[in-house]
Structure 1
């Protein structure tokens, strides 16, 4: 059996017991760490098992091949982001535009350790454009929903327009933290201030119900 793929067509096992669910979580966390460090193609099943402190047979018990792990990670990352945006929308009515701006600008930075293999996973997929589009749409919908809860008079079109600007600010903040874009020690705080002023100006004129 190849260390990365298998001819088996079975679906990954969904454990019912807490111990099994914990083991799957550990295996996925190990896979995510390795793929973020080395890339999808360079990561092997044996390395994933070793990083998780598991026997290779335990890994194959839950996942027939590396492709199944990648699919599980994509679903896991999507669930994490959905939960975060839903939780933000649930509390946005009690936030000022400035408070919401501060939460949003750092959201990707906070989420990154939990979804850090997403870029490597997308790079290895033939449907990367579709995955990227879906991920972007999910983020825009989540941001727009929080904006409309915070400012109840904000219409859907304006919320989407503002969400695009905020999402780009969020990506820039993550890039600064990861040193993927030009930055200085004070630049992240400047970006936070800019984002706060922008949302205060755009949302402040809308009356809450």
Structure 2
């Protein structure tokens, strides 16, 4: 089943949800299409399973980060956060395609963003315990946007130059140090 889901995720990331067929998923996984139907009655069931798995990956990443944020300096936390989307991308690369295919995509996207902001702000507040919750969410929103830009640069979907990712890392470090140090 894991191989079928991985094949589905890869195909949906490459081709999009609508262009991916059950037969292609089975072929990519090296399975017979009947095996795929034994686990999933249709493509929508696969998409729902993938969406739940990938949202859980994101949740787990933020929980783990918050669990260790008390041992991190603001600049260390900044580096981890700025690269978090890039490092987890292979595990959630079909998430945009999965969201786009749903009739409730706006709601799912809003839940995903809220989860990210909550996860980042939790890590910020562990790193800087006196940080106000509202301020933490504002900072988290800025950091989340920086994380998206870093992913875009890495995937060559955003304007970039060879040194731009390092400059974004520096900017993120300076920003988090300036914002978190007074609350530590």
TM > 0.5 between the two?
A: yes
Shift of 1:205: 1.3
Match for residue 11 of structure 1?
A: none
- Unaligned runs of at least 5 residues, structure 2: none
Match for residue 102 of structure 1?
A: 79
- Are positions 1:171 and 2:148 aligned together? yes
Match for residue 181 of structure 2?
A: 204
2:5 pairs with one of 28, 32, 51: 28
Instruction: Output the CA distance in 2 between the equivalents of 1:121 and 1:74.
Output: 7
1:77 pairs with one of 54, 59, 81: 54
- Are positions 1:161 and 2:143 aligned together? no
Match for residue 140 of structure 1?
A: 117
More helix by proportion, 1 or 2?
2
1:53 pairs with one of 30, 52, 66: 30
How many residues align? The count is: 184
Compute the TM-score of the two structures, normalised by the length of structure 2: 0.98
- Unaligned runs of at least 5 residues, structure 1: 1-23
Where in structure 1 do 4 or more consecutive aligned residues deviate above 2 Å?
none
1:149 pairs with one of 118, 126, 136: 126
Q: Deviations over 1:100-127 (max 9, x none)?
A: 0000000000111111111111121111
Q: C-alpha root-mean-square deviation of aligned residues, in Å?
A: 0.7
Compute the TM-score of the two structures, normalised by the length of structure 1: 0.87
Match for residue 111 of structure 1?
A: 88
Shift of 1:85: 0.4
Instruction: Output the CA distance in 2 between the equivalents of 1:55 and 1:47.
Output: 10
Q: Deviations over 1:52-90 (max 9, x none)?
A: 111211111110000000000110001100110000000
Instruction: Output the CA distance in 2 between the equivalents of 1:156 and 1:39.
Output: 38
